[in-house]
Structure 1
Amino acid sequence: MRHPPRPVLLAVAGAVALLGSVVVPVVAAEGATPACTVDYSVTGQWDGGFQSSVRITNNQAALSSWKLTFDFAGGQKVTRGWNAKWSQSGTTVTAAGESWNGALGSGASVSAGFLASWSGANTAPAAFRLNGTACNVDPDPTTPPPTDPPPTGPPPSSGTAPALHVSGTRLVDAAGRTRRLLGVNRSGGEFMCVQGYGIWDGPVDDAAVKAIADWKANAVRIPLNEECWLGLSNVKPEYGGANYVNAVKELVARVEAHGMTPVLEMHWSYGQYTGNSAGCSDVHATCQKPMPDAQYAPSFWASVADTFKGDQAAVFDLFNEPYPDRAVSSATDAWTCWRDGGTCPGIPYEVAGMQDLVDAVRGAGAKNVIMAGGLAYSNDLSQWPAYRPADPAGNLAAAYHVYNFNTCASESCWNSTLAPVAAQVPLVAGEVGENTCSHGFTDRVMQWFDDRNLSYLGWTWNTWDCSSGPSLISAYDGTPTAYGVGLRDHLRALNP
């Protein structure tokens, strides 16, 4: 995200009056376990429309495929859904599992949601059936115990995070298994230290990291500050240099201990820029600059690489959101600056290009996976393949950021500009989000990336206003915002 966590007025796509969740209760007798339970919640309602989520738990034998049915009592009509194949005939609604969440093991849960229109009374469904079996009711005591074996397959990620490398267009572990990076950003390390308030924004102890893992995330992107890592004189000693480095190392260790991939990223950097779209006039690393600086950025990455070169689980994201295209009018000049650095038109300081930073990482002896974002705040990857930096280790991935207010924020743009990149290298959406305090846009992004087995991480695991951050949580125990619930439920559905 290209703005710091401060009140910022952003355009809101629509007004949604969020309601308290309306949950259908389970009515089984005390001590009995229903064959299946369904939690139905209205998560948002407005004039003529509403949004709902359902969480299905299978308490019977494992199901190789699942289908949920229920009837609306009023004039509701499903218009669009996610995490399931939704259809409606008359008042009867059907949700069937997708190819990636179609199996539902014994005791497993899956979440899905939909948008719908309504008129009259938006009454919640009274009854649900999973594959024909009534849910939320006392099971028949004469039903024999299930005999089907539990589903086989890899268990949820746990323990130490795997070492990663690039294989064709995939990130894979040492055994060659594909590793999609699906998780969150944990902002704070890029701004707290340089502003003199600390190192992290909010807790990063084991309980706080476990709360991220409990969303079934398998990756955490950690934005960093160049000057704090290097311990430059403008940073308070208690928040910079060795103290900062050790704090980062400790957080990385906690993230990996919960089986999650840490993505270390240079967010704010040195260099004075006051041109088009400048975030600040300060020479210091107090805002997003259009490109990394040649004075300190290579040293930063050489030091980070040296620190983590023995840890192949760590991924390096070279620079948060380049925007040399805002400083120059020529796309050729912008992409050349992005790759080669040096003296770039419109940028008064000497620039470190992506090739310089790749060279700094590899020169330190690190073979870790490297991510590089494109132009327009990492939203433009149209010429990324043509200007791709050379990586002697062959472990380079493309990074992409997308919010609902970006230029490239539609399936047609993704098909024309992202698909060609994903056909050559691993593609990771390092930041995904929206400023609506809802998740309709991120649902679309996740679906597009899911369909192509690509990676994405939501912005951000911080307790800010979801319309100005945007923030995924309202508390560090993992309580989601109305925006964050979409990512949480989706991750849990992918890995129940």
Structure 2
Amino acid sequence: MRHPPRSVLLAIAGTVALVGSAVVPAVTAHGATPACTVEYTVTNQWDAGFQGDVKITNNEGPLSSWTLTFDFAGGQEVTQGWNAKWSQSGTTVTAANESYNGSLGTGASVSAGFLGSLSGSNPLPTAFKLNGTTCNVDSDPSTPPTDPPPTDPPPTGDGKAPALHVSGTELVDAAGNNHRLLGVNRSGGEFMCVQGYGIWDGPVDDAAIKAIADWKANAVRIPLNEECWLGLSNIDPAYAGANYISAVKELVARVESFGMTPIVELHWTYGQYTGNSAGCSDVHATCQKPMPDAQYTPSFWSSVASTFKGDQAVVFDLFNEPYPDRATSSLTDAWKCWRDGGTCPGIEYQVAGMQSLVDAIRGAGANNVILAGGLAYSNDLGQWLTYRPTDPAGNLGASFHVYNFNTCSSASCWDSTLAPVAAQVPLVAGEIGENTCSHGFIDQVMKWLDDRGMSYLGWTWNTWDCSSGPSLISAYDGTPTAFGAGLRDHLRTLNP
């Protein structure tokens, strides 16, 4: 859902510990200042790969462009990157500025990141050059670099949250039992970080997640922000990159520890869109865009997939609410844009289609269940089957959002557009809600979905005004609004 306006946000996320990282520090001797300093960080590492970040600081005269070079000593290879043009020749890695971040004034810094492959150890680079000038030249040579400490394995939820896969039209656990996803959305991770307030909107400790479980929910959808995950330079570092990833991993593990399925979902993305129904004119990930961007979104999903590929309990929701149909009058063009991306009518930036995002996830080695929402803010699945992406893992389902103010908000529309999709793939209503501070509409939605054995999640587990939200709760102890009481009471009847 597109968020209601809010004048005050809670700043609740304090400092998050940096987990599984190693840094080549810029340490100087004798009070000297190097011409440039580079901090190299391994923010995540797994069996065959890792995610790295570099922070470059220019300590001398202003630069209109920059090129950073360094060498790998362990056979590592850069596979893709962001915030710079990355390339590699032999052991030498080169990162050159993008058109938007080439200017680097005296004392200014810029950050860029990448994904890499490895075989065996992952020794840190020991020397960096910026435009040919050696950086960190006054670093203490008596302290040799060391391999980064191994990161914790992906969370498994100690077996309480089931590993899931697609079987025909159903989501099933490892034993083949049908598993409906019935729960809530936990908004916050998509907007707090980019607005500079923190990472989560409200508490996400054990007591807060237990309150969700006490509603008899078995799934929690977690909206994310790609710029915060990738640690782009416009985000406060306290809420970006390794800190953000660590917080997401911690929440995912906590959700699983209460036996609930975490659904990690990409909500806000990069790319300037000023056309019909634009949520904002900002190029940064500060609102819902009509489609994912080709510049960062594939890297986001490759990194997320690498992080959680060892945990089949985690479900991936590709993109919150596509609306390329608002940018063009041709429904065919809109569906082609949805699947194939590229240059799309009415959208100023290069688009990442759903096929490219499925490819990014599978290319990272993750076979997790993937959900893809349709057009019209995920309310239109009319041609979803015609344009559905190809998934070599066979673990693809459809996502549908429905509110009382949507076009497709009646049983007749659901019969004609949802039922054919659900006859071929699992269907999850990733967001259901109404702006009436009541639950008469979602009662109808839940009955229609229950009768057909489908999944649904209420929007949203946040203490907002339910008439402008909608919001399920008035307090994070699980006290429901009048709207939320309908979902809570119904979930409890399904799982007493």
Task: Give the TM-score taking structure 2 as reference length.
Answer: 0.69
1:196 paired to 2:196: yes
CA distance in 2, matches of 1:291, 1:6: 24
| SS, match of residue 171 in structure 2 | strand
1:409 paired to 2:409: yes
CA distance in 2, matches of 1:273, 1:198: 26
CA distance in 2, matches of 1:491, 1:423: 24
Asked if the contact 2:181–2:218 (Cα under 8 Å) also holds between the matched residues in 1, the reply is yes
Segments of structure 2 that go 5 or more residues without pairing to the other structure are 9-156
Task: Write the letter of the residue equivalent to 2:282.
Answer: D
Deviation of 1:3 (Å)? 2.4
Write the mapping of 1:283-322 to structure 2, written as runs, cut at 5 A.
283-322=283-322
1:367 paired to 2:340: no
Asked if the contact 1:291–1:351 (Cα under 8 Å) also holds between the matched residues in 2, the reply is yes
Task: Write the letter of the residue equivalent to 1:381.
Answer: L
1:169 paired to 2:169: yes
CA distance in 2, matches of 1:370, 1:402: 19
CA distance in 2, matches of 1:456, 1:356: 26
CA distance in 2, matches of 1:477, 1:302: 35
Task: Write the letter of the residue equivalent to 2:414.
Answer: W
Match of 2:343 in 1: 343
Residue-by-residue CA offset, 1:391-445 (whole Å, 9 max, x unaligned)? 0000000000000000000000000000000000000000000000000000000
Residue-by-residue CA offset, 1:347-392 (whole Å, 9 max, x unaligned)? 0100000000000000000000000000000000000000010000
Residue-by-residue CA offset, 1:299-328 (whole Å, 9 max, x unaligned)? 000000000000000000000000000000
Task: Write the letter of the residue equivalent to 1:290.
Answer: P
Task: Write the letter of the residue equivalent to 2:189.
Answer: G
Deviation of 1:6 (Å)? 2.1
CA distance in 1, matches of 2:270, 2:315: 22
1:451 paired to 2:451: yes
Deviation of 1:2 (Å)? 1.6
Match of 1:116 in 2: none
Deviation of 1:5 (Å)? 5.4
CA distance in 2, matches of 1:468, 1:459: 12
Deviation of 1:468 (Å)? 1.0
| SS, match of residue 425 in structure 1 | coil
| SS, match of residue 351 in structure 2 | coil
Asked if the contact 1:216–1:492 (Cα under 8 Å) also holds between the matched residues in 2, the reply is yes
Write the mapping of 1:7-406 to structure 2, written as runs, cut at 5 A.
160-406=160-406
Residue-by-residue CA offset, 1:282-311 (whole Å, 9 max, x unaligned)? 000000000000000000000000000000
Write the mapping of 1:410-489 to structure 2, written as runs, cut at 5 A.
410-489=410-489
Asked if the contact 2:4–2:468 (Cα under 8 Å) also holds between the matched residues in 1, the reply is no
CA distance in 2, matches of 1:366, 1:272: 30
Asked if the contact 1:4–1:191 (Cα under 8 Å) also holds between the matched residues in 2, the reply is no
State, as a whole percentage, how many aligned pairs show the same letter: 84
1:493 paired to 2:493: yes
Deviation of 1:260 (Å)? 0.2
Asked if the contact 1:159–1:258 (Cα under 8 Å) also holds between the matched residues in 2, the reply is no
CA distance in 2, matches of 1:318, 1:192: 20
Asked if the contact 1:342–1:350 (Cα under 8 Å) also holds between the matched residues in 2, the reply is yes
Asked if the contact 1:273–1:280 (Cα under 8 Å) also holds between the matched residues in 2, the reply is yes
Task: Write the letter of the residue equivalent to 1:264.
Answer: V
CA distance in 1, matches of 2:385, 2:7: 37
CA distance in 1, matches of 2:160, 2:249: 15
Asked if the contact 1:278–1:289 (Cα under 8 Å) also holds between the matched residues in 2, the reply is yes
Deviation of 1:160 (Å)? 1.7
Superposition CA RMSD, Å: 1.3
Superposed structure 1 runs of 4+ greater than 4 Å apart: none
CA distance in 1, matches of 2:203, 2:319: 25
Deviation of 1:210 (Å)? 0.3
| SS, match of residue 483 in structure 1 | helix
CA distance in 1, matches of 2:177, 2:343: 42
CA distance in 2, matches of 1:258, 1:311: 15
Deviation of 1:469 (Å)? 1.1
Report the CA distance shift for 1:409/1:422 in structure 2 as closer, same or farther (over 3 A).
Answer: same
Asked if the contact 1:158–1:258 (Cα under 8 Å) also holds between the matched residues in 2, the reply is no
Deviation of 1:464 (Å)? 0.2
CA distance in 2, matches of 1:453, 1:159: 24
Asked if the contact 1:316–1:370 (Cα under 8 Å) also holds between the matched residues in 2, the reply is yes
| SS, match of residue 397 in structure 1 | strand
CA distance in 2, matches of 1:182, 1:491: 7
Asked if the contact 1:439–1:484 (Cα under 8 Å) also holds between the matched residues in 2, the reply is yes
Asked if the contact 1:367–1:395 (Cα under 8 Å) also holds between the matched residues in 2, the reply is yes
Task: Write the letter of the residue equivalent to 2:214.
Answer: D
Deviation of 1:158 (Å)? 10
CA distance in 1, matches of 2:241, 2:158: 32
Task: Write the letter of the residue equivalent to 2:215.
Answer: W
CA distance in 2, matches of 1:266, 1:466: 23
| SS, match of residue 384 in structure 2 | coil
Asked if the contact 1:5–1:464 (Cα under 8 Å) also holds between the matched residues in 2, the reply is no
CA distance in 2, matches of 1:440, 1:470: 13
Asked if the contact 1:211–1:476 (Cα under 8 Å) also holds between the matched residues in 2, the reply is yes
Report the CA distance shift for 1:240/1:158 in structure 2 as closer, same or farther (over 3 A).
Answer: closer
Segments of structure 1 that go 5 or more residues without pairing to the other structure are 9-156
